[in-house]
Amino acid sequence: MPLGIDPTVDYAFKKNFGDPENADLLVHLLNAVLRQSPPIAEVTILNPFNEKEFATDKLSVLDIKARAAQGAWFNVEIQNKAHWSLRPRLAYYNASLYVGQLGEGEEYKALTPAVTICFLSEVLFREVDAPHLRFAMCDCRHGLELTDRLQIHTIELPKYNFEQRPVPLKDGLIQWAFFLSRAAELERETLKRLLPSPEFAKAIGVVEMIAKTPEERMQYEARRKAEMDFRSFVADAREEGREEGREEVREQVLRQGIADHVQSFQRLLGETVVPKEDLMKLESDALKELRDELEKRLQARI
């Protein structure tokens, strides 16, 4: 029987890579992505997995922050929606990870690399076929890198096209991409045969534990449902806005719809809900900007 647990649901993702007991899995994942020499030997997870962290807030962010023994800082996350705000958000988080290292009076030489790694279940960069992209500060015209201390890696899982890839799999990153993409639909023994190394045996065990433990399964399903509900809500809101916007004579109806979206986003964010009559006093552009800003902040929490 297939395991039925999708490792790209961020609850399962952080259970595998954000639990201090599984720090070896995070080390293996980081080395598979970075392929640096010498490889990372040890990491400290700075925001350890905590089942209670989203028990009362199913939109809490479940990224992984860690620091290597050599000093580099890492932010690792999974994104199941390649939404429009993801590119600037990745840049912002990476810059924050870098700037946040220095205390008052410390020198710049104390700065160590800040590396953001984002796995994606959707394609974000359709311009290229490569699934793994590395972004850094460089002169694009001359190919000259200013520094390697700010890095953003994206790994777009759909680009691997495992239906046409022969097995067994050799490359470490491809193995992790296969695990994240296919683990939910394969049986345990099949996965262990295709991914025989100890790290994957442990990761498979984590997924199996979630599947078989009622409390864990309940937490996983709650998180998965929250992700699906949010994506559906945003898609519906956008579609309603487009449908209403096609009829210019119904501008007032469109404004009311946008005001409804603003109030819904405010409720999801736990903020004070502005009365609709006050929202309707805003100019159309200002109302749309407010909706877009709230949506961006809400997406940043997913």
Q: Give the CA diameter of the chain.
A: 65
Q: How far apart are CA 144 and CA 294, in angstroms?
A: 38
Cis, peptide link before residue 168, omega less than 30° from 0 = yes
What gap in Å lies between CA 248 and CA 226, rounded to an integer?
A: 34
Contact 223, 231 (CB under 8 A): no
Instruction: Count CB neighbours of 286 within 10 A.
Output: 11
Domain ranges of the chain: 10-212, 225-300
**CA angle (49 as vertex; 218, 230 as ends), nearest 5:** 55
- From residue 33, how far is each of 17, 40, 153, 157 by CA, in Å? 14, 11, 8, 13
Percent of the chain with pLDDT over 90: 50
More confident residue, 293 or 244: 293
Cα distance between residue 300 and residue 85, in whole Å: 8
Q: Which phi and psi (to 5°) does residue 212 adopt?
A: -100, -10
For the chain, give the number of residues: 302
State the pTM of this model. Answer: 0.76
pLDDT (tens digit, 9 = 90+) per residue, 44-64?
Answer: 999 888 766 655 555 555 689
Per-residue pLDDT at 123 exceeds 90: yes
> How far apart are the C-alpha atoms of 121 and 201, rounded to whole Å?
23
Residue with tokens 């954000």: 18
In this prediction, residue 264 carries a pLDDT of 78
SS3 assignment, position 26:
helix
Q: What is the dihedral of CA 179, 170, 76, 234, to 10 degrees?
A: -50
Tokens of 212: 């078989």
Confidence (pLDDT) at 253: 62
Express each pLDDT in 219-264 by its tens digit. 899 888 877 776 666 666 655 555 544 444 456 667 777 887 888 7
Residue 299 has pLDDT above 80, yes or no: no
**Using the 8-state DSSP alphabet, how is residue 46 labeled?**
S
State which amino acid sits at residue 172: G
Q: Contact, 140 vs 105, CB < 8 A?
A: no
